[in-house]
Amino acid sequence: MLNTKSILAPKKESDGRRISVMSRHTLNDGVTPHPQITRESYDEWNKLLSPPSKLLGDYYKRGLPWKQFEQRYREHLTQPNCQAEIQNLAQRSLDSVITLLCIESSPEYCHRRLLAEECKKYQPTLILNIM
């Protein structure tokens, strides 16, 4: 099973292995550590599958529309090293519960949902629980 949720949501045993797919664990200034995100918030940190910094800047600071963000993030995921990591993540999710984490409270405009959908392409029987 592959879950998604905000890294700020309380940790639950049902989360299984919690994997941060954030490029950084800071406040919006990009430098100050986020006080609610500690090493105990996640089990793994996979920066490769996070949106590239330029893409995040274009979205948050320069007003890139969501549809364009989504398209560019999906393009990022087509890189061979990302594809291999997505396949690995999808396979692991068949054998155990994994929860993808990022800062957004809702999955509607969040890359963790897009990443989970990519995983399902490799493992169509994978159960997604997108929160």
For tokens 């893409």, the residue is 55
96 vs 60, higher pLDDT? 96
CB atoms near residue 62 (< 10 Å): 8
**d(Cα 124, Cα 69) in Å, to the nearest integer?**
25
Q: DSSP letters along 7-42, please?
A: TTSPP-GGG-EEEE--S--B-TTSSSBPTT--GGG-
| Best CA proximity match to 55, nearest among 68, 41, 37 | 68
Beta bridge mates, 18: 99
Percentage of the chain exceeding pLDDT 70? 100
Region 84-97: what's the mean pLDDT? 97
Region 109-126: what's the mean pLDDT? 97
Q: Domain boundaries in the chain?
A: 2-130
Region 80-109: what's the mean pLDDT? 96
Q: DSSP letters along 62-92, please?
A: T---HHHHHHHHHHHHTSHHHHHHHHHHHHH
User: pLDDT per residue over 7-32, tens digit each?
Assistant: 999 999 999 999 999 999 998 888 89
* Residue 83 CB-half CA count within 13 A: 4
Report the pLDDT value the prediction gives residue 89, as an integer from 0 to 100: 98
User: pLDDT per residue over 61-90, tens digit each?
Assistant: 899 999 999 999 999 999 999 999 999 999
